[in-house]
């Protein structure tokens, strides 16, 4: 086999998923992760459509089901907490709508994938790639802390702000497209009975104020929830300054009602605080010589799209499978990987742009009213119409049986 040693940057979801399949096919993956341990926090992620089949083939479905958030729907509330519009998973059929059947905290899915691979895959935590120089035989990689090493191939699975993409493909601004919103998340305590629902309180924009939503998402531990904040803005901030990001959230939501004052009161003690722009990553190609991008690093649809984890799992399965089928020839494998994934990615990007920010950050009271009326109508529409968009999108790819090909 050609190119057996493969360095993967990023121990989130895409990286360990790829490592699982690479090891299974006889490659020797190494995963490097900048943080000293697996990351905590982050949003709830969904496994949809074809990605469910990938999860089954990976053998992680029992653990995923154990880690399910318990959410069975979503409810929009007013400032007093009264439910004014409800969305049940039953309304959406197999797609699950905003709450998929396999909806779990991102950190739990990352942990499950890590535990499925840690005995077979080399993990290097607390280090980061500082340079990658290619020649005809491989990639010479320099690290922030460790000694330089040689690998046959390099994979950037390190998220929207990919270090590998910056080093090999060019500056972030070439690839990241701002969609005009921001999202913040952290674990909080709550006395609210969520009753299996994500609760969302939306405040319309107008008179110079941004449209915005605050939400509480069910967690496993009783009395806890994931606090979420989404708002429109055009900000300039230091991505490394967590305190500044917390102050932005405080300024944006101060003085608002519902559970917001109590949620904000815990922001300074939140060790898992997450804050980022709502963006897409768009690239004409995901490979350059021996380096390839996977998941959000190459084609993030949007943190609000509900399809990012499925893109990562399906992409990892296909990339590893094409490398196996090509006997490690990266040029053939990378071309086939892009061919198999491009339609899925293009559809996901278009879907996320159509969704826009109006649902959670309406620009006016009239748009908020229209959103609520639309939600109230959904239970009365045929399921095939309600779920058609997400169902079609999440089942775009017809998976090859790469494992069978290894025995063919």
pLDDT of 96 reads 45
Report the 10 Å Cβ neighbour count for 174.
11
Least confident of 29-38, 39-48, 58-67, 274-283: 39-48
What tens digit of pLDDT does each residue of 309-325 get?
999 999 999 999 999 99
* 226-247 mean pLDDT: 90
Half-sphere CA count of 278, side-chain side, radius 13 A: 27
Pairing of β 153-156 and β 5-9: parallel
pLDDT at 51: 94
Residue 293 near residue 283 (C-beta atoms within 8 A):
yes
**Strand residue runs (E) in 135-273:** 139-143, 149-151, 153-156, 176-189, 197-203, 212-218, 224-232
Using a CB cutoff of 8 Å and minimum separation of 24, what contacts does 138-141 make? Answer: 138/3, 138/5, 138/290, 139/7, 139/290, 139/291, 141/7
Q: Residue 31 has what DSSP assignment?
A: E
Cα separation, 150 vs 3, whole angstroms: 11
What residues contact residue 129 under an 8 Å CB cut-off, 6+ apart?
A: 7, 9, 32, 141, 142, 143, 144, 163, 164, 167
Cα 288 to Cα 160, 183, 284, 380: the distances in Å are 18, 31, 11, 49
Question: What's the pLDDT tens digit per position in 111-144?
Answer: 999 999 999 999 999 999 999 999 888 999 999 9
Tell me the domains of the chain and their CATH numbers: 5-68+105-175+280-356 (3.50.50.60)
Over range 252-264, report the average pLDDT. 95
pLDDT of residue 354: 75
pLDDT at 32: 98
Query: Which has more confidence, 365 or 3?
Result: 3
At residue 33, φ and ψ (nearest 5 deg) are -130, 130
Phi, psi of 27 (to 5 degrees): -80, 170
pLDDT, residue 407, reads 47
Q: Quick: pLDDT tens for 71-91.
A: 777 889 999 999 988 776 554
Say whether pTM exceeds 0.85: yes
List, in order, residues 6 or more apart from 119 with CB less than 8 Å away.
none
CA–CA gap between residue 383 and residue 100 (Å, rounded):
15
Q: What count of other Cβ atoms lies within 10 Å of the Cβ of residue 83?
A: 12
Q: Assign 267 to helix, strand or coil.
A: helix
Per-residue pLDDT of 299-312, as tens digits, reads 999 877 788 999 99
Name the strands in the sheet holding 197-203, side by side, starting at the edge strand that comes first in the sequence: 83-88, 73-77, 197-203, 212-218, 224-232, 176-189, 274-281
Given the structure tokens 């230091």, which residue do they identify? 238
Residue 387 · residue 395 · CB < 8 Å: no
| 43 three-state secondary structure | coil
The confidence score (pLDDT) of residue 92 equals 46
């Amino acid at each position: 086999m050609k190119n057996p040693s493969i360095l993967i940057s990023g121990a989130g979801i895409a990286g360990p998923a790829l490592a699982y399949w690479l090891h299974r096919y006889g490659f020797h993956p190494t995963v490097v992760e900048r943080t000293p341990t697996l990351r905590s926090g982050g949003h709830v992620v969904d496994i949809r459509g074809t990605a469910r089949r990938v999860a089954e083939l990976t053998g992680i479905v029992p653990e995923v089901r154990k880690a399910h958030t318990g959410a069975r729907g979503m409810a929009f509330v007013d400032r007093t907490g009264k439910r004014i519009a409800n969305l049940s998973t039953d309304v959406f059929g197999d797609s699950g709508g905003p709450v998929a059947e396999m909806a779990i905290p991102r950190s739990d899915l990352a942990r499950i994938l890590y535990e499925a691979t840690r005995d077979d895959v080399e993990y290097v935590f607390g280090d980061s790639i500082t340079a990658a120089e290619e020649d005809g035989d491989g990639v010479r990689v320099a690290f922030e802390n460790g000694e330089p090493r040689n690998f046959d191939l390099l994979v950037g699975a390190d998220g929207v702000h990919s270090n590998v993409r910056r080093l090999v493909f060019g500056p972030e601004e070439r690839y990241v497209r701002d969609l005009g919103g921001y999202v913040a998340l952290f674990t909080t305590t709550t006395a609210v009975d969520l009753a299996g629902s994500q609760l969302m309180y939306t405040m319309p924009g107008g008179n110079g104020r941004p449209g915005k939503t605050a939400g509480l998402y069910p967690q496993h531990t009783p009395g806890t929830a994931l606090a979420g904040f989404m708002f429109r803005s055009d900000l300039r901030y230091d991505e490394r300054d967590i305190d500044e990001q917390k102050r932005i959230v405080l300024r944006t939501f101060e003085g608002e009602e519902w559970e917001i004052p109590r949620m904000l009161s815990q922001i300074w003690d939140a060790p898992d605080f997450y804050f980022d722009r709502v963006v897409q990553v768009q690239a004409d190609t995901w490979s350059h010589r021996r380096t390839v991008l996977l998941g959000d690093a190459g084609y993030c649809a949007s943190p609000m799209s509900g399809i990012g984890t499925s893109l990562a799992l399906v992409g990892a399965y296909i990339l590893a499978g094409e490398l196996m089928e090509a006997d490690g020839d990266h040029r053939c494998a990378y071309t086939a990987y892009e061919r198999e994934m491009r339609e899925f990615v293009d559809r996901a990007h278009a879907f996320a742009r159509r969704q826009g920010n109006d649902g959670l950050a309406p620009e006016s009271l009239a748009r908020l009213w229209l959103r609520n009326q639309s939600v109230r109508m959904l239970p009365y529409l045929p399921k095939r119409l309600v779920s058609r968009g997400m169902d079609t999108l999440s089942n775009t790819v017809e998976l090859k049986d790469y494992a069978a090909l290894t025995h063919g």
